[in-house]
Amino acid sequence: MSGSGVPEAEVPCFTSVVELMELLCGSPDDRALRTAALLRRSHPADKELQLAGLLHDVGRMLRPGDGVRHAVLAAQALRPLLGDRVARLVRAADGSGGPGGGPDDAEAVATLRRAREGAGASGPDAGVLEDWRPLLELVAAGSCRAANVIDPLGPPRGSITRTG
């Protein structure tokens, strides 16, 4: 079991942006798009916050009717692809996932929750899901690099010393 009480074998993990986009395409609700669009306007430099707004309901899509565990499931499924911060923000987005944001994320979590509330009402056009693919790919690539703190090319071979 993981620390969240969800058996590890039951936690799906996204391994690619394509896989994540396929799941998101099946969601008829555009509240997540409106949330992300609001965050893009109010916090244009915080890409991870914007993605947390887009992805806060992924757990409900993975396991409809799973109750309050949806935030925990979403965080665990997204962490390998998009990194720890996106996972923490998604987990803390609606408060049902327990403490998810770290002390540095308290303001971001509050901003995310306000954006979710604001997105509940119909508002300006939020665009289309495909608009978010480049940002998902960018953050996923950065998360992958961060996870590979060890040189992704492996340890150096041979000597790099100079002679003469």
pLDDT tens track for 48-67: 999 999 999 899 888 887 66
Burial of 133 (0-12, 13-18, 19+ CB in 10 A): middle
Q: What is the pLDDT of residue 75?
A: 94
Token pair of 129 as six digits? 């899901």
Q: How far apart are CA 6 and CA 13, in angstroms?
A: 13
Q: What is the pLDDT of residue 104?
A: 74
Q: What is the pLDDT of residue 12?
A: 80
Give the other-Cβ count within 10 Å of 137's Cβ: 14
Q: What is the pLDDT of residue 135?
A: 96
Residues in the chain: 164
In 3-state terms, what secondary structure has residue 91?
Answer: helix
pTM above 0.85, yes or no: no
For the chain, list residues with pLDDT below 70.
1-11, 66-68, 96-103, 122-124, 144-164
